[in-house]
Amino acid sequence: MRKSLVACYVIAVTLGAASIVIAQAPAAAPASGKAAPKGKGGRGGPATPAGPTPRLPDGTVDLTGVWMGGGSNSSDITKGLKPGSEVVMQPWAEALMKTRKSQDDPQGNCLPFGIPRGAPYPWRMVQTPTHKAATHIFILYEGNIHSYRQIFMNGKHPDDPDPIWYGHSTGTWDKDTLVVDTVGFNDKFWFDYLGHPHTEKLHTVERYMRTDLGNMTIEVDINDPGAYTKPFTTTGRARLQPPGDELLEYICQENNIDLVHVNAPAQLP
């Protein structure tokens, strides 16, 4: 029974990582040079909804919907960088990463995955209100502990925010791009399965760009002088899920004792 549980965990992690890598992979250009047919799902998956970028009555882009994907490569953050960016760790951070084991990954222990790491589960973006300019935007996650983020539109960061998993986020619109500025992180989550670390000095700036009905490009500027020698930018994409898809109940039990058997160094699934 114990062996079967270990096998199930390994299979689940492997499949989950594969799904999010696929969702975040850059779109391949058709051999003919022509645009891909609208609405075609990738790799045999369901068709991505096609159509123009939707807007709310005040003219801002409507980001509402259930999405799959994210703004970085959650297996290895160095594999999802914007051209020209590079990840250069401080010596202490590199040494710490080499000591980490997969069983210690906070995400595997039912804890939030932070920013910009995503999970191989869908998430929902909600803008409120919708009849006028939004005051809040919420991101609801299916995976882990059904956690959520709240983005205060045109808000202000506290002078001394308490360190938390998703930090304190404020949002503004730059034309059709939602720009989310976040500070006040704790230092507990990992950037990826390999265990890239960060400190409480982490400052992220996310850019959500809904290019049409079914696709969103996400870029994340990462600046953490405590763990990295210079800022870098990750990039990824998300796809709108088909109409009728909803977030499901997902129960991730704290104190997952089976993780003691996943005793290898932090690595790709």
Instruction: Provide mean pLDDT across the span 11-25.
Output: 42
Residue-level pLDDT at 203: 98
Average pLDDT of the chain to the nearest whole number: 84
The pLDDT-based confidence of 268 (bands split at 50, 70, 90) is confident
For residue range 125-150, list pLDDT tens digits in order.
999 999 999 999 999 999 877 889 99
Instruction: Reduce the DSSP state of residue 223 to 3 states and report it.
Output: strand
- d(CA 168, CA 150) in angstroms, rounded, equals 8
* pLDDT exceeds cutoff 80 at 119: no
- d(CA 127, CA 210) in angstroms, rounded, equals 14
* pLDDT exceeds cutoff 80 at 74: yes
Residue-level pLDDT at 261: 62
Residue type at 195 in one-letter notation: G
* pLDDT exceeds cutoff 50 at 3: no
Residue-level pLDDT at 120: 82
Instruction: Provide mean pLDDT across the span 141-161.
Output: 91
DSSP percent split of the chain into helix, strand, coil, nearest 5? 20, 25, 55
Q: Which of 110, 78, 109 is nearest to 94 (CA)?
A: 78
- d(CA 8, CA 11) in angstroms, rounded, equals 5
Q: Which of 37, 18, 17 is nearest to 27 (CA)?
A: 37
- Cα radius of gyration (the chain): 19
